[in-house]
Amino acid sequence: MKKWLGVGGVGFVLASSMTVPACSGPNRNFNSHGAAGASGMSAGNTGGTSAAGRSAGGHAGSDEQPSSAGMAGEDMEEMAGAGGDAGGDAGGGCSDGYTGTPSTGCVDINECKTDNGGCDKAVTCTNTPGSRVCGNCPFGYSGDGEAGCVDIDECKTNNGGCDKTVACKNTPGGYTCGDCSAGYTGGGASGCVDIDECKTNNGGCDSLAACMNTPGSFSCGACPTGYTGTGATGCVDIVECLSNNGGCSANAQCTNTAGSRTCACKSGYSGDGITCTAPGAGCKWSCTTPGCAQVALDNDGDGHGSSACAAAPGDDCDDTQSSVFTGASEVCDGIDNDCDKKIDLSDGLALVGAVQDLPSRSHVSIAVGSGGVFQVVGTSPPGTTGLFSGTISSTGTATFYSSPIFSPDANSQYSLTRMAWASGNSQYGVAYAIDGFGGAGTRGGTMAASACCWQDFNLTTASNNKKGDVTARGQGDLLFAGTSDGNITFNTRDGSGVKLTGNLAVSGTWDIYAPRLASSGTSAGVIWQTASPRALNWSLLSPTLVPGATEQLATAASYADISAIGAGYGLAWIEGLGFRFAIKKADGSTQCTSSVVSFGTIPSNQQLAVADSTNGTVVVATSPDSNLIHLYRFDSACKVKDDIDVTTTANAPTEPRVALGGGHVLVFWIDAAYAHYRFLSDLLCH
């Protein structure tokens, strides 16, 4: 508590903490300049009334002209009055900061006990005699304990000294630093240090991916080429070979590797695996440093490379046969052993068997029966009439019967015989003409293998029937054909008689040559010739004798023949100074047709016959004007494989016949003096 004291017009401050004893003192009179005021003040201090003060001042000068002392007294009076007032307020008690009375004793008040003595609650209040002292504001505060302490927000300056990656939190008189974030080590106050996760187990990334450290974390790079997935979840090898062979050539082996694949050309190919080049036909690759070259294959291991290798031809014309190469010996096997582009007969090998002479027979037909025995039927020798039969055994021995197979009409001529063997009923079927073309007609008959039990019949019921033929079908029966103007009539027979009939309408007039039949399987092929229009025609009969479409084979053909072969049907016909050969498949479609094979000199006199063999189709052709009887063998492309003269001593040969059976081929013909045959192996040569 502060108090002011007026002394001679000058104010003095007395500290409230000073003790002013409550005692009486003499009133001191001051000079004329203010003694009275002093007295008044003294009186006030001693508890006198202000009136007494004023009285004391009044005595110091006159009213009319106050002296300086009097003026001072007035001033002092006012101050003394004030002091008197104060003294009156105290009532004579203890000074501020004390409690009690002067008489009983003044006791210091401990202000600090109440509201911390008015100091800021954050400071210490220290009691002093009659007062108290406020301590300084604590660390973290500004201001003072008297006026008040204000908390300092340390976080506003440099994040309070915490690491910049953590939060600073202000607290009364201080602050706290947050914990370091994940990915850091240390403390928020001492400092957070980034953890390099990539140093441990590649940060958890796949071992094939890059780990990249980032502040407080890390990232995984992409999987390398050839892998799928991510660096974080895992890289999985792509098996490139599963798609489009890995981009390798189709002729390469694709092998998967980690993140990629390799391509290697397969055996027999050359290249980098992306591109693999096949060697030429008959060649292979031979690869040495610095590259690859084509060399001839030697598949049969005979030490001779294939001649088919155009880049490096060898001398082996058939690399599938170890016995075939240039310089090898030609043997009878149906192939060109010595690579001179000739086989067997054309390369000097002789036909097996010698030419056999028989008593004269004409219009002979041959069929192979059971056990490989060839049955022969022909017209009578000179001076006799009728049909005579004979056999040529499986060893080539001929036996002819002297009696006709049925009682002939002595006034008739028999010709144009055709014969077939039906295994289903063990019978031969024979078709023949009486009195030739334009004569009494065409007849047929059946007989047993012993040439007995002949049964004769008309091939057609037409009065103008002309020519006929017979063949054995795969069903085991016999199929006969007879002709009349405008028709070819068909019927099948077994041991009990006629079973099926059929008819094929024919346009044009008949040529002098009879129709020809052959059966391949259960169907049959038929060819016939017309003189006007000039044509050789073909049709395929169904198993029920329904004819297919008529196909014109040639417009300049004369003599023709047909035979069943392994591929279906073999056909040949005279055309100009030579002949053509064709193969019809079993379904009637054409497999091939040859060019004209030159032969003979006078087309109208040439004849031929067709039969199958083990190694190709055989065509035997005769040209009486040139004394030629020649054998040809064709392959499945209708190309001549080889050919040879059947004999070099022919005398105007004609009526050639050829048949296959029992592992043999029988060639038969007649000339001006005799009938002849040659008994060959199915390979024809030795």
The answer to whether residues 492 and 545 touch, using CB atoms and an 8 Å cutoff, is yes
Q: Classify residue 45 as left (phi > 0), alpha (psi -120 to 50) or beta.
A: alpha
pLDDT tens digits along 26-45: 333 333 333 333 333 333 33
Average pLDDT on 525-536 reads 92
Cα pseudo-dihedral 424, 620, 525, 415, rounded to 10: -70
pLDDT band of 363, cuts 50, 70, 90: confident
CATH class of 154-194: mainly beta
Q: Is the pLDDT reported for residue 525 higher than 90?
A: yes
Residue 260 has pLDDT above 90, yes or no: yes
Query: How much is the pLDDT for 90?
Result: 44
User: What pLDDT does 21 receive?
Assistant: 38
**Would you say the CATH fold of 556-686 matches that of 197-237?**
no
Query: 556-686: which CATH topology?
Result: Neuraminidase (2.120.10)
pLDDT tens digit sequence for 264-277: 999 888 889 999 99
Whether 72 shows a pLDDT value over 50: the answer reads: no
Residue 166: its pLDDT value, please? 94
d(CA 36, CA 61): 9
- Between 400 and 255, residue with greater pLDDT: 255
Asked whether the predicted pLDDT for residue 23 surpasses 50, the reply is no
Provide the pLDDT for residue 441.
61
Local confidence band at 381 (pLDDT 50, 70, 90 cut-offs) = low
Q: 34-43, 157-166, 418-427: which range is least confident on average?
A: 34-43
Angle formed at CA 184 by CA 187 and CA 156, multiple of 5 degrees: 55
Q: Is the pTM of this model over 0.75?
A: no
- Of 680, 676, 33, nearest in space to 357 by CA: 676
pLDDT band at 416 (very low <50, low <70, confident <90, very high): confident
Average pLDDT over residues 673-680: 89
Query: Is the pLDDT confidence value at 291 over 90?
Result: no
CB 375 within 8 A of CB 391: yes
Domain 197-237 has CATH 1.10.150: no
The residue-averaged pLDDT of 559-578 equals: 94
Q: What is the pLDDT of residues 444-465, one digit of tens each?
A: 888 887 667 888 888 776 656 6
The full set of domain ranges for the chain reads: 27-60+68-88, 118-151, 154-194, 197-237, 556-686
Q: For 572-624, write each residue's pLDDT tens digit.
A: 999 988 999 999 999 999 999 999 999 888 877 889 999 999 889 999 999 88
Q: Average pLDDT, stretch 349-364?
A: 86
CB atoms within 10 A of CB 673: 10
Is it the case that residue 330 has pLDDT exceeding 80?
A: yes
Average pLDDT, the chain: 83
Roughly what angle, to the nearest 10 degrees, separates helices 68-90 and 50-58? 170
- Cα separations in angstroms, 664 against 20, 261, 639, 682: 173, 62, 22, 5
Rounded CA-CA distance 686/670 in Å is 25
Output the furthest CA–CA distance in the chain (Å, rounded). 225
